[in-house]
Structure 1
Amino acid sequence: MSLEQPPPARRASDHDRERAAAVIQEAHSDGRLDFEELDERLTRVYSAKTEIELRTATADLLPVAHGADAELTIRAKHSAQKREGAWTVPERVTALPEHSSLKLDFTDAVVRWAEIHVEARPKHSSIVMIVPEGWSVDLDQVDMVGSTAKNKATAPKPGGVRLHITGEARHSSITVRHPRKRHWWWPWYRK
């Protein structure tokens, strides 16, 4: 009998380290870290090999919510909406697509919260959320009315962000997955 090993932690890029360093420097400028803590944490960040090490170094530096920065409402009617790239993720997102498609890609997003709440209320729509490896996803508190919900995100890790999804889906689909991998022999291939 063999025990299945969890996949290795996702390796951190230079871009990941720079984002984590920015969080630490902001905490220092706010007075939440002194010079000694700033130096110690920046050393940890720039020597980090995995994304989990970066999140551990910044986990207690959640920013103070400033009005609209803590919430985002996305409305779409008969259209397609996307949030991708290096967008700043608020603590609460309300998704209200109607006869539309909505894509929330958290892969390269600036995430400063240990837990993100998404209230999803799609009507005749689709919502796709793309999360990095290691995130935990709670999709059980969405009321489904003639709809489907799929959580394809696997292997949550300690210290990973928790994505908590609530709401009501009417004749819609909600899918949470990891980024699609490109094959090295054909960089334009997509699953």
Structure 2
Amino acid sequence: MTADASNTPVPRDKLRVSHEERDSVVEQLRDAAADGRLDIDELEDRVGRALTAKTYGELAPLTADLPGSAALAPVPPLVIKSGMQGAARTGRWKVPAKITAHGGMAGVRLDFTRVECTLPEVEIEAYGEMAGVTIVVPEGWWVDSDDVDPGVGGLRNKTLHPETRLPGTPLLRVTGKGGIAGITIRYPNFLERRKLDKAKGL
């Protein structure tokens, strides 16, 4: 029996880039030319390649020798363990293509409501263990949790179906085991929404 290719994580350099990321690279190349870092021929060549780039592997080398190119550098996988105090990722944080979360004795919370994620897909391997893992996502994101083993604690995915996914938002593909405390996937609650509105000045 062959493995389902859809469950195989896509390497970072094979992931598709967005129009915004292409435009950002073009702007960086033009700034570099204005600073004298690139001559006209180099600028024309790199801009042409940037505008036709489809993946990070094609786009990232165009600015690798220029200052400020870290934005396209791969974000390393994140492994987060609760320990005895609990652990969380909240606010604005860089989202990698792969996250592993262990609920342990105090729980883990992953809050994506204020992140800017340009990845088309993020893999989250969650283990609820004794205290559980909570994943909070903005409305309009789609979370696929079909491959989670609910265990004793269960899986509670309170997000909507794929047809509600907004263009340009990532797919979160959640795998792992619920353990004793389970895995919860949800939108922001009332208090969290108020904090988000306050941060936006609403």
TM-score interval, normalised by the smaller of the two chains: 0.5 to 0.7
The TM-score, its normalising length taken from structure 2, stands at: 0.59
- The structure number with the bigger radius of gyration is 2
Structure 2 portions without partners, runs of 5+: 1-18, 30-42, 61-71
Structure 1 residues 33 and 138: alpha-carbon distance in aligned structure 2, compared to 1, 3 A threshold: farther
Distance in 2 (CA, whole Å) between partners of 1:118 and 1:156 is 18
Match of 2:65 in 1: none
What displacement does 1:76 show?
Answer: 1.8
Match of 2:90 in 1: 84
Aligned partner (choices 39, 47, 63) of residue 34 of structure 1:
47
Aligned partner (choices 104, 111, 115) of residue 110 of structure 2:
104
Which of the two has greater helix per residue?
2
8 Å contact kept, 1:147–1:172: yes
Query: 120-129 or 153-162: which moved more?
Result: 153-162
The number of residues matched between the two structures is 144
Match of 2:63 in 1: none
Aligned partner (choices 58, 66, 77) of residue 71 of structure 1:
77
What displacement does 1:180 show?
Answer: 2.4
Cα distance per residue 1:132-188 (max 9 Å; x no partner): 11111111111122112111112323443100001122102211111224588xx99
Distance in 2 (CA, whole Å) between partners of 1:111 and 1:141 is 23
Cα distance per residue 1:85-117 (max 9 Å; x no partner): 110000000112211211111111131211000
Matches within 5 A, 1:1-191: 24-26=23-25, 28-29=27-28, 34=47, 66=73, 69-154=75-160, 155-181=164-190
Letter in 2 for 1:88: K
Structure 1 portions without partners, runs of 5+: 1-19, 39-59
Which of the two has greater strand per residue?
1
Root mean square deviation, CA, Å: 3.4
What displacement does 1:70 show?
Answer: 3.4
The TM-score, its normalising length taken from structure 1, stands at: 0.62
Structure 1 residues 80 and 104: alpha-carbon distance in aligned structure 2, compared to 1, 3 A threshold: same
